[in-house]
A and B are shown apart, each in its own frame.
Chain A
Amino acid sequence: MLDLTYDAPAPKVIAGATGDWELVIGLEVHAQVSSRAKLFSGASTLFGAEPNSNVAFVDAGMPGMLPVINEECVAQAVRTGLGLKAEINLVSAFDRKNYFYPDLPQGYQISQLYHPIVGEGEVLVELGNGTARVVRIERIHLEQDAGKSIHDMDPTMSFVDLNRTGVALMEIVSRPDIRGPEEAAAYVGKLRQIMKYLGTCDGNMQNGNLRADVNVSVCRPGDYEKYQETQDFSHLGTRCEIKNMNSMRFIQAAIEVEARRQIAIIEDGGAVVQETRLYDADKNETRSMRSKEEAHDYRYFPCPDLLPLEIEQAWVDDIAANLGTLPDDLKGRFISDYGLSDYDASVLTAEQENAVYFEGVVAKSGDGKLAANWVINELFGRLKKDETEITDCPISPDQLGGVVALIKAGDISGKIAKDLFEIVYTEGGDPAEIVEARGMKQVTDTAAIEAEVDKVIAENPAQVEKAKENPKLAGWFVGQVMKATGGKANPAAVNQIIAKKLGG
């Protein structure tokens, strides 16, 4: 395995009226657990069902109903923890977070405040140009999602859809190790990538299956380093939490605008008030969510309906043994096994489907580098043009591997290969058979090429004279020969023969 080493990136700096400011960011990412049933009920988690159709009695908070933990959700949290190289707590416990809202039928959310299932871990977030940030994970806990309140369907009434109520969420809490808006987005992207590889969260931000609360504060250059040395938060500024962001773009914009708001307050001689804020994308501003009088006291206490959650080390080991490959490991392997660049390996491992496809092409063609070029440049370009996903790709890894194999064998030129790719992409079929049937095979017979060269030289004496004075013009002859052979002549052979004839 290749050991990937990176430099830490420079923190984002904002120039204020009184000097430079740095950003300090921590995220709480809420990831919906991929599971068929909810965290404490057997009701379905299927998205897009009729309102209030996926609701068990316990989800609706009916009297006397009790929660029972869904083992699959626990396994998914453990998988995620292992994927983030985190400590798995064999004993965890559930607590109630109490507040009133119509889409919270029990009047409390069951969460894990005091004893989360996953403890400390870390994530490597690559940021390009050989830089990456190591973001420490503080904890991951399991909790219930709330339902959906709909206030805009009727002028006098509100509606509630409980389908989402009780669906399992993992709250992934980072340390304040993120130093800029791009890093924050890249961190969320990395978590999303890891969870998609693990199959623990589908990462669909549009459906709200992955959302983030972002904690932002600003400090002077040098203060963050003092915090790092001492872990003493007093070196950092007062933070504000921007709630419920479900787009990478908004996360970045919100951090930027919130940091600037805080800087303006401080530079005006004011103080930042620790509070929860909402980001308004239309106005590109954050605003306070609730006034102090309404500040919630969640009255957390251990949920008496659930015993502490005890899991066996052997069960965790079994999950670990069947975890599958993680993106960082796969990327490292692509670099070491196939000699790919960091960039190419990143592109190919960004989505697991891409990596699987690429390895199929390698398996058929036997050339990792060539396969990478074809997958990244030709295939991805074509898919993008067609607005098609790799999962709906009309050309199979075996077919593309066949094209690459023909190039590697010298049977076809790169130019012919592009034509062949287009034929296989649109019409299908076996690349080798198509090449054979349509006479696309490259001419490598030097005698045949020499004949063509001789013919071109004989027909263009004036050009020959010019070329002898200026060898760069040899390319013109190459072009003529390729044209005459319909592009099938081996370009290397043509070059060589022309150089010899003209120079000789």
Chain B
Amino acid sequence: MTELSKLKIAEARDKLRAKEITSAELTEACLAEVEGSATLNAFVHNTPEIAREQAKFADERIAMGMSPDLCGIPLGIKDLFCTKGVASQAASGILEGFKPEYESTVTTQLFRDGAVMLGKLNMDEFAMGSSNETSVYGDAVNPWQDGGRKLTPGGSSGGSAAAVAADLCLGATGTDTGGSIRQPAAFTGITGIKPTYGRVSRWGVVAFASSLDQAGPMTKDVRDAAIMLTSMSGHDPKDSTSADIPVPNFEAALTGDIKGKKIGIPREYRMDGMPDEIEKLWSQGQEMMRDAGAEIVDISLPHTKYALPAYYVIAPAEASSNLARYDGVRFGHRASLAEGDGITEMYEKTRAEGFGPEVQRRVMVGTYVLSAGFYDAYYNRARRVRALIKRDFDEVFATGVDAILTPATPSAAFGLGEMKDADPIQMYLNDVFTVTVNLAGLPGISIPTGFDSKGLPLGLQLIGRPWEEGDLLNCAYSLERAAQFVGKPEKWW
């Protein structure tokens, strides 16, 4: 029974349709795995009642022969998504006890297509972090280990990555503002795609940095990512930044044929001090794609080095404003007040108690860069850099490049707590290969293609043209087939 949770979405879909298994069985298998995975701390709010009800309904739909691809498929949902009547806290103390009266567009669409929700997944607080160590629920733990050394699953979608890698669920939702899907996917040996900005509705997703946030799937392989992304995508009139562009069936794009595709290798991504094994992984990826018939070309994205600083101005600026609503007035945590305390004390105490240190740091940075006298020097300059970064990509794509291949992360997963005393900038460097994609609003996918010397998974990133997720997924599919990544973490939890 428990083996069922190891299924991929496409496999389970076919077995469900063939009536070899039921969603009820599949769901019970996953619920049992979730139950037994407390040490991973991936699931933070379990919803077995909802899961069983949805599974029952899915089985009825399947019996009637009316089953969309996700019908009966058990998923985990990142805590950043608002799910009606279910705790949705963005892993923050300030949203303690918050159960929204509404369902996010993404989960609404997944449920429309028959998906089963097992529960809510751990993450960095307000999606701010690269190690899932800023969560009010405590660290999520990577199912991959380095001997007995406990590793981070990455962040911010660390719970999603850990849950999928550990086969607690068949797939999970993630969100990606600077790499929060792709970096944890790489750290846990799974696939994660951040679609083009505007492809997936942000309505009902707790905002971190609105101009950068995009939701996407985290799955066991590229096909599953294509299936889930098809369901999650689409124009939403409730999100003004959502694009009214038709959504193709992304799975149908997976031919594996990339003959004649032009794959760009950006020279600026070859960083000083990049570990040899990352360099090697990247070269191997290029070779695999060349062998599959693609043309590998050297390209330049000259403003890359300014991306990280620009990102760490823009994202905190937006966050400082987006997080202003957490004031203790209407929902979530409110500090108990002393005699004589007024509204200012209520704000100060509530926010000091409710927000963790990393969130406070970013709110402070964001407030600073938007303040009178500094706005032009920081925020406006960062916006100009952002425009230049986007232009870099536009110019490369204009030369006929179909996709860009880069490492996903500068290293494999690091140990939990190891960065505790490091300069926060050391942690921000995790995003060095991924933030440009968010700044430019492009689709990016991370897929596992190899291991480091300690046997930990490593991933490569492919960056695609805007709205060409189908083509991007197909390139990733080809690379996935060539890489033959089959590793699974040994169960220890």
- A contact set with B: CB distance below 8 Å: 57, 60-69, 96, 98, 100-102, 105-108, 158, 160, 297, 299-301, 304-307
Query: How far, in whole Å, are A385 and B331 apart by their CA atoms in the complex?
Result: 54
Asked if B330 and A64 make an inter-chain contact with CB atoms under 8 angstroms apart, the answer reads no
List residues of chain A with CB within 8 A of the CB of B102: 57, 62, 65
List residues of chain B with CB within 8 A of the CB of A64: 81-82, 100, 104, 202-207
Query: How far, in whole Å, are A102 and B327 apart by their CA atoms in the complex?
Result: 8
List residues of chain B with CB within 8 A of the CB of A69: 240
Query: How far, in whole Å, are A78 and B379 apart by their CA atoms in the complex?
Result: 31
Known: A63-B325, A301-B379. A100 touches B347 (CB 8 A): yes
Asked if A299 and B370 make an inter-chain contact with CB atoms under 8 angstroms apart, the answer reads yes
List residues of chain B with CB within 8 A of the CB of A102: 327, 329, 343
Asked if B324 and A301 make an inter-chain contact with CB atoms under 8 angstroms apart, the answer reads no
Query: How far, in whole Å, are A95 and B203 apart by their CA atoms in the complex?
Result: 19
Output the least CB separation between B323 and chain A (Å): 8
How many pairs of residues, A versus B, come closer than 8 Å at their CB atoms?
100
Chain B contacts with A in 67-110, Cβ cutoff 8 A: 81-82, 88, 90, 95, 98, 100-102, 104
Asked if B372 and A66 make an inter-chain contact with CB atoms under 8 angstroms apart, the answer reads no
Is B237 part of the contact surface with A, judged by Cβ < 8 Å? yes
Chain B contacts with A in 310-357, Cβ cutoff 8 A: 317-318, 320-321, 323-325, 327, 329-331, 343, 347
Query: How far, in whole Å, are A76 and B227 apart by their CA atoms in the complex?
Result: 44
Is B238 part of the contact surface with A, judged by Cβ < 8 Å? yes
Query: How far, in whole Å, are A57 and B379 apart by their CA atoms in the complex?
Result: 29
List residues of chain A with CB within 8 A of the CB of B367: 299
Asked if B330 and A305 make an inter-chain contact with CB atoms under 8 angstroms apart, the answer reads no
Output the least CB separation between B441 and chain A (Å): 12
List residues of chain B with CB within 8 A of the CB of A305: 207, 210, 240-241
10 contacts between A and B (CB under 8 A): A64-B104, A64-B206, A98-B370, A100-B327, A108-B324, A300-B375, A301-B370, A301-B375, A306-B240, A307-B240
Is B239 part of the contact surface with A, judged by Cβ < 8 Å? yes
Is B371 part of the contact surface with A, judged by Cβ < 8 Å? yes
Asked if B318 and A304 make an inter-chain contact with CB atoms under 8 angstroms apart, the answer reads yes
Asked if A106 and B325 make an inter-chain contact with CB atoms under 8 angstroms apart, the answer reads yes
Query: How far, in whole Å, are A158 and B344 apart by their CA atoms in the complex?
Result: 13
Q: List 15 additional contacts besides A69-B240, A299-B320; criterion CB under 8 Å.
A: A57-B102, A62-B100, A62-B330, A63-B88, A66-B240, A67-B240, A96-B321, A100-B347, A106-B324, A107-B325, A158-B343, A160-B329, A299-B367, A299-B371, A307-B241
- B contact set with A: CB distance below 8 Å: 81-82, 88, 90, 95, 98, 100-102, 104, 202-207, 209-211, 237-241, 317-318, 320-321, 323-325, 327, 329-331, 343, 347, 367, 370-372, 375, 379
Output the least CB separation between A458 and chain B (Å): 92
Asked if A304 and B211 make an inter-chain contact with CB atoms under 8 angstroms apart, the answer reads yes
Query: How far, in whole Å, are A304 and B315 apart by their CA atoms in the complex?
Result: 11
Query: How far, in whole Å, are A66 and B210 apart by their CA atoms in the complex?
Result: 10
Nearest B residue to A68, CB-CB: B240
Query: How far, in whole Å, are A63 and B210 apart by their CA atoms in the complex?
Result: 12
Query: How far, in whole Å, are A69 and B239 apart by their CA atoms in the complex?
Result: 10
Asked if A63 and B82 make an inter-chain contact with CB atoms under 8 angstroms apart, the answer reads yes
Output the least CB separation between B211 and chain A (Å): 4
Asked if A68 and B206 make an inter-chain contact with CB atoms under 8 angstroms apart, the answer reads no
List residues of chain B with CB within 8 A of the CB of A106: 324-325
Output the least CB separation between A161 and chain B (Å): 13
Output the least CB separation between A56 and chain B (Å): 10
Asked if B330 and A66 make an inter-chain contact with CB atoms under 8 angstroms apart, the answer reads no
Asked if A304 and B210 make an inter-chain contact with CB atoms under 8 angstroms apart, the answer reads yes
Asked if A107 and B203 make an inter-chain contact with CB atoms under 8 angstroms apart, the answer reads no
Query: How far, in whole Å, are A307 and B243 apart by their CA atoms in the complex?
Result: 11
Contact of A63 among B98, B318, B329 (CB under 8 A): B98
Known: A100-B327, A297-B371. A66 touches B321 (CB 8 A): no
Query: How far, in whole Å, are A69 and B241 apart by their CA atoms in the complex?
Result: 12
Asked if B95 and A299 make an inter-chain contact with CB atoms under 8 angstroms apart, the answer reads no
List residues of chain B with CB within 8 A of the CB of A105: 325, 329-330
Asked if B203 and A66 make an inter-chain contact with CB atoms under 8 angstroms apart, the answer reads yes
Nearest B residue to A149, CB-CB: B343
* 4 smallest beta-carbon distances between A and B, as pairs: A107-B324, A304-B210, A299-B370, A304-B211
Asked if B90 and A63 make an inter-chain contact with CB atoms under 8 angstroms apart, the answer reads yes
List residues of chain A with CB within 8 A of the CB of B331: 62-63
Query: How far, in whole Å, are A105 and B328 apart by their CA atoms in the complex?
Result: 10
Query: How far, in whole Å, are A269 and B351 apart by their CA atoms in the complex?
Result: 46
List residues of chain B with CB within 8 A of the CB of A67: 240
Output the least CB separation between B104 and chain A (Å): 6
Query: How far, in whole Å, are A100 and B90 apart by their CA atoms in the complex?
Result: 22
Nearest A residue to B366, CB-CB: A299
List residues of chain A with CB within 8 A of the CB of B241: 304-307
Contact of B203 among A65, A101, A304, A306 (CB under 8 A): A65
Nearest B residue to A96, CB-CB: B321
Output the least CB separation between A481 and chain B (Å): 80
Nearest A residue to B101, CB-CB: A57
Output the least CB separation between A495 and chain B (Å): 77
Contact of A60 among B81, B317, B330 (CB under 8 A): B330
Query: How far, in whole Å, are A98 and B238 apart by their CA atoms in the complex?
Result: 23
List residues of chain A with CB within 8 A of the CB of B205: 64
Asked if B98 and A98 make an inter-chain contact with CB atoms under 8 angstroms apart, the answer reads no
List residues of chain B with CB within 8 A of the CB of A304: 209-211, 241, 318
Query: How far, in whole Å, are A301 and B378 apart by their CA atoms in the complex?
Result: 12
List residues of chain A with CB within 8 A of the CB of B330: 60-62, 105
List residues of chain A with CB within 8 A of the CB of B81: 64
Query: How far, in whole Å, are A300 and B374 apart by their CA atoms in the complex?
Result: 12
Query: How far, in whole Å, are A96 and B98 apart by their CA atoms in the complex?
Result: 25
Output the least CB separation between A194 and chain B (Å): 31
Query: How far, in whole Å, are A108 and B241 apart by their CA atoms in the complex?
Result: 19
Query: How far, in whole Å, are A63 and B88 apart by their CA atoms in the complex?
Result: 9
Nearest A residue to B202, CB-CB: A66
Output the least CB separation between A225 and chain B (Å): 33
Nearest A residue to B89, CB-CB: A63
Query: How far, in whole Å, are A304 and B343 apart by their CA atoms in the complex?
Result: 28
Output the least CB separation between A153 and chain B (Å): 16
Asked if B211 and A68 make an inter-chain contact with CB atoms under 8 angstroms apart, the answer reads no
Query: How far, in whole Å, are A63 and B127 apart by their CA atoms in the complex?
Result: 14
List residues of chain A with CB within 8 A of the CB of B371: 297, 299
List residues of chain A with CB within 8 A of the CB of B372: 297, 299
Query: How far, in whole Å, are A443 and B206 apart by their CA atoms in the complex?
Result: 86
Asked if A108 and B204 make an inter-chain contact with CB atoms under 8 angstroms apart, the answer reads no
Asked if A98 and B324 make an inter-chain contact with CB atoms under 8 angstroms apart, the answer reads yes
Query: How far, in whole Å, are A306 and B240 apart by their CA atoms in the complex?
Result: 6
- Best-surrounded residue of A60, A66, A102 (most CB of chain B within 10 A): A66
